[in-house]
Amino acid sequence: MKALFVKYKLVIKFIATFLLVYISLSVVYKFYLQFSDGSKFYPDYMTHLVAKQTEALLNAFGYNAQILPHPDEPSMKLYLNNTFLARVIEGCNSVSVIILFVSFIVAFATKFKTTFLYILSGSVLIYSVNLLRIVFLTIGLYHYPNQQDVFHTVVFPAIIYGLVFLLWVFWVRRFSKISK
In this prediction, residue 177 carries a pLDDT of 66
Alpha carbon 28 to chain centroid distance?
Answer: 16
CA distance 145 to 151: 10
Residue 54's nearest CA partner among 93, 23, 15, 26 is 93
Residue pair 131/50 in contact (Cβ under 8 Å)? The answer is yes
CA distance 85 to 148: 10
In this prediction, residue 110 carries a pLDDT of 87
Residue 46's nearest CA partner among 99, 86, 111 is 99
Residue pair 18/107 in contact (Cβ under 8 Å)? The answer is yes
Residue 97 CB-half CA count within 13 A:
26
Residue 43's nearest CA partner among 76, 7, 9, 8 is 76
The one-digit pLDDT tens for each residue of the chain (180 residues) are 788 778 888 889 999 999 999 999 999 999 999 888 767 788 999 999 999 999 999 999 999 999 999 988 899 999 999 999 999 999 999 999 999 999 999 999 989 999 999 999 999 999 999 999 999 999 999 999 999 889 888 988 899 999 999 999 999 999 876 645
In this prediction, residue 178 carries a pLDDT of 61
In this prediction, residue 41 carries a pLDDT of 85
Q: What pTM, to 2 d.p., does this model score?
A: 0.91
